Structure 1
Amino acid sequence: MSAAPPGLLNLVQWLSPAFPTGGFAYSHGLEWAISAGEVRDGASVERWLADVLRFGAGRTDAILLAQALAAEADLDALTDIARALAPSAERLRETEDQGAGFAAATAALTGFDLAPRPLPVAVGQAARTLALPAPQVLALYLHAFAANLVSAAVRFVPLGQTEGQRVLAALHPLIDALALEAATATLDDLATSALRADLAAMQHETMDVRIFRT
């Protein structure tokens, strides 16, 4: 008898802030939005992250991850799609660098030969061995994605720790809904319209002083 399936604990470890993907160094363009005054408190952080999840990389990453979980998935094709969906150089670097770090660390733990891929495809590549329900994998991935950006906001807005946790908790229903949607979506459902977040990522590339890589 086990308190939690071993696969679930593995996934929680892989998606935790302690896992060496370097996620703490990326703000997904949020640093520029904060410096420009577009994001300045808990309410505006929550709105920004909800839009990124619902209309931007959150949803597209979840669909790519769901596709990568399938045993018959063409991971090379998904890698090409993930790269093509990156709207800027920094966004591409963000998903590729974290994906490479994730694959390397996971391979060292599991002994599996995992190729470096964009982050959602890399996670799917590894998580397909865990025999977990797809919605559960997607929800934990989206939660980790949101939590990393909340952490960036806590450090740079700055927000208090409690306010940051309130923002993250408020995103839970959206994360759950997106995970369920993405689990049954197809590649034809891929789309993004988080234009302000994409522009923020582009603007971040030209900032003179910054503390995050993206």
Structure 2
Amino acid sequence: MTLAARLTLAQWLSPAFPVGGFAYSQGLEWAIARDEVGTADALAAWMADTLRHGAGRNDTILLCLAVRAGLPDPDLDDLARALAPSRERLEETEAQGAAFAAAAVGLGLAPAPYPVVVGRAARGLDLPLAEVAALWLQAQVTNLVQIAVRLVPLGQSCGQRVLAALHAPILDLAAEAATAGPDALGGAAFRADLGSMQHETMEVRLCRT
């Protein structure tokens, strides 16, 4: 049953699952357009900062709180929305959450911010929480790295090297998030937050955020 649960989680987090992850850059497109992220090293640094101090950390804690039912559902939904640093990021988490709820046939999920609704779906899998969090993070990071591979552009091999370098912080954050309470939420990835705000005003853009 554990293997079947892992396959289900892998399906939910796959790029093929219809939540439109390829369309969301969380402000990374703006940073690339500004030439702030134009190399593999710059991408790795940007991603590491968002993992440790920004949306990567907060979303993973929200996911784990949802799995553990660490807060009443309406409170957790409101908290997730309040943590969105910009209009686009709020639209992103709500649109992906609604798409996930609709695509996860048979679970009876109500639309909610994306990490929250995935966490609620994962309750029934009975997998170790740090494992769920690590696979969630891997999927989110992979999506952003693929956006950089297309837009910088970086080669596929270069993108894979960046992903491999992020395995250690992904595992560290997953372990932390698995036991974190709501008081652990917060961030200081100001450039990424500003990027998500500035992205709203770009005249030419390929991503929705």
Matched with 1:5 is 3
Q: Is it true that 1:167 corresponds to 2:162 in the alignment?
A: yes
Matched with 2:44 is 46
Amino acid at match of 1:176: L
Shift of 1:77: 1.1
Matched with 1:104 is 102
Q: Is it true that 1:181 corresponds to 2:176 in the alignment?
A: yes
Runs of 5+ unmatched residues, structure 2: none
1:176 and 1:12 map into 2 onto residues whose CA distance is 17
2:155 and 2:71 map into 1 onto residues whose CA distance is 42
Q: Is it true that 1:60 corresponds to 2:41 in the alignment?
A: no
2:68 and 2:24 map into 1 onto residues whose CA distance is 28
2:107 and 2:75 map into 1 onto residues whose CA distance is 20
Shift of 1:55: 0.3
Q: State the Cα RMSD in Å.
A: 1.1
Amino acid at match of 1:187: P
Matched with 2:15 is 17
> Which aligned pairs between 1:74-153 and structure 2 lie closer than 5 A?
74-106=72-104, 108=105, 111-153=106-148
Matched with 1:203 is 198
The one of 18, 24, 27 aligned to 2:25: 27
2:53 and 2:63 map into 1 onto residues whose CA distance is 16
**For 1:45-86, what per-residue CA distance to the aligned partner results, in whole angstroms no more than 9, with x for missing partners?**
000011011100111011111110015642221110000000
The secondary structure found in structure 2 opposite 1:101 is: helix
Identity, in percent, stands at 60
Matched with 1:190 is 185
1:141 and 1:125 map into 2 onto residues whose CA distance is 13
2:142 and 2:72 map into 1 onto residues whose CA distance is 29
Amino acid at match of 1:61: D
**For 1:118-144, what per-residue CA distance to the aligned partner results, in whole angstroms no more than 9, with x for missing partners?**
111010110001000100000000111
Given that 1:138 and 1:183 are in contact with CA atoms closer than 8 Å, whether structure 2 keeps it comes out as yes
| Greater mean alpha carbon deviation, residues 201-210 or residues 62-71 | 62-71
1:71 and 1:37 map into 2 onto residues whose CA distance is 41
2:98 and 2:55 map into 1 onto residues whose CA distance is 18
Shift of 1:114: 0.3
Aligned residues: 209
Shift of 1:10: 0.2
1:149 and 1:47 map into 2 onto residues whose CA distance is 13
1:46 and 1:72 map into 2 onto residues whose CA distance is 32
Runs of 5+ unmatched residues, structure 1: none
Given that 1:64 and 1:82 are in contact with CA atoms closer than 8 Å, whether structure 2 keeps it comes out as yes
